[in-house]
Amino acid sequence: GAVVSQHPSWVICKSGTSVKIECRSLDFQATTMFWYRQFPKQSLMLMATSNEGSKATYEQGVEKDKFLINHASLTLSTLTVTSAHPEDSSFYICSARRFGQNYEQYFGPGTRLTVT
Amino acid sequence: LAKTTQPISMDSYEGQEVNITCSHNNIATNDYITWYQQFPSQGPRFIIQGYKTKVTNEVASLFIPADRKSSTLSLPRVSLSDTAVYYCLVGDWDTGNQFYFGTGTSLTVIP
């Protein structure tokens, strides 16, 4: 149990276009989902926290107008990278907190974004 | 934030026991300690979690001294497939700081 999926697993897009990444909790309801970004050889950096039905909370330095997060249901959160640029190329990982579960995050497999 | 400090990297031979220590001097009373494993181009995978003393599961043990200012992840008889980055996270949902990853420890298992 406690499986989190992401789609797509990898995507290549042209500079200036927008890309949407989906994060789904497959077998549980997630009250809170988290989005991370990871550059090569670096640790995970928390970008934002999203709660179902409310606006996401962004970490300092993360542009909320560039990284749009929607948490429309208890099993789905989406991250849209708007007007992507090559510097947005990274590995994006989501995680979910199971409703009623206190201290564990369940991570998705990640999405590799390459902006050309 | 309960900041964590880990060694950047470690090497070990196959079949040996590996101990990775994490320092968290500012751990709060309500904080839990969680360890994750990450392979390249994959999301982190939960290994083990504890609050105090010793916790053991099918893949690892977690040792936490009485003062809880550090913790040690113990991997018994490592294999090549254990080569990965290991992260120690400290915190609880109320403080929110368990969502922040430190540098992690890159473990390389040598044949």
DSSP A47-79: EEEEETTS--EEPTT--TTTEEEEEEETTEEEE
Task: Judge: A103–B43 Cβ closer than 8 Å, yes or no.
Answer: no
pLDDT of residue B100: 83
pLDDT digits (tens, 9 = 90+) for A61-73: 999 999 999 988 9
Average pLDDT over residues A38-44: 93
Q: Nearest Cα to B6, choosing from A72, A43, A83?
A: A43
Q: Does A43 touch chain B (CB under 8 A)?
A: yes
Q: What are the per-10-residue average pLDDT scores of chain B (111 residues)?
A: 86 97 91 93 93 94 96 97 96 69 94 95
CA distance linking residue A31 with residue B66, whole number of Å: 33
Distance from CA of A107 to the nearest CA of B (A): 6
pLDDT of residue A3: 92
DSSP bridge pairs for B84: B107
Is the pLDDT confidence value at A113 over 90?
yes
Q: What is the DSSP letter of A103?
A: S
CA distance linking residue B85 with residue B78, whole number of Å: 14
More confident residue, A1 or A58: A58
Task: Judge: A44–B101 Cβ closer than 8 Å, yes or no.
Answer: yes
Residues of A in contact with B98 (CB under 8 A): 103, 105
Question: Are β-strands B105-110 and B9-13 bridged in parallel, bridged antiparallel, or unpaired?
Answer: parallel
